[in-house]
Structure 1
Amino acid sequence: MLELAVANASMAQDSRWDKLTSAKTAVWLTPSYRFNINKDPEVIDFIDVMAVARLTSNSENVDLSDYLDIGGKLQWIHNKISLSGEVIYRYLTKKPEAVLKNHTFRTAFNFGYKINDIITFQATFGSNFDGNSTTYTDPSKIFAVGGFNFGFGNMFKKNN
């Protein structure tokens, strides 16, 4: 599969609509491939390989530099369990002189468990980017996020 996406984030200073301006715009390309590693139709057993290339154009109000992100993700899905790891490398297009390096990276490891057709538990652990071009000398911040995803798609399927 190959996906192309474009997004924009805007900000309104002083919470006023007449001061709405673009904060950043990004375009990214995400190729992916799924390998079915078990031919038994009763067993779900996939390995997904994904890559991403993203260019983010920042407003000078947000960051002086634009970002080029390159990364990948490897995911294993077995019946109700999924495990994945990803890394994304970020390069600055303009490095301020006071900043020591023009790159940073992000890592994440995810565990998912499908409780039933509607509810999935997700837990993600990793380290985030070092900030923006003014704080790339700061250490990466570790994060941990957990929660439940609710899917309601099956409620709208028509039974034939």
Structure 2
Amino acid sequence: MGLIVVLISVLSLTGCSGDPEPARSGAATPKPAKATPTLQIGSKAELAGVRANYHGTKDITGARKVSIEIEDNYFSPTVIKGTPGQRIVVSLENESQSPHTFTIAGTYIDMQIQPGGISEVPVRLPKSGNLSFFCTFQKKNGMAGVFNASGPIDKPGPKATARR
């Protein structure tokens, strides 16, 4: 009986404190935040203005190196988030049965990696926004990704072609 009285007392003290206050006349009603679409493994996504097959996100803030697995038609991780101007070494391993390229839009980086091959390349993230990467052979099939330094990951970065 004593325990029931204590529970009733505790419940009566808490009351409806979790309920929002009623709207006051003249007060502005806050607008709900714009929902960000949730990316699912295997889904298609618009990344830095390029259509991509999504296979994960990795936060590399403070890191000096990131590993990317190359598969048929996707990179894993697909989204790599870091800090503006961050310098990293990208380690690439081609786990597919086909050759692929690792090409970064608007840069000199355009390298071919054979099946089973491993390569490393230094990369500097943009000072703001996004920088796309892709396979020139399979880009049309969604084999692309993004280095994200700031802002939304779908905002286009530099023109998505490699300098030759």
What TM-score do the two structures reach when normalised by structure 2?
0.23
What TM-score do the two structures reach when normalised by structure 1?
0.23
Query: Which of structures 1 and 2 has the larger relative contact order (alpha carbons within 8 angstroms, sep 6+)?
Result: 2
Is the strand fraction higher in 1 or 2? 1
Whose radius of gyration is greater, 1 or 2?
2
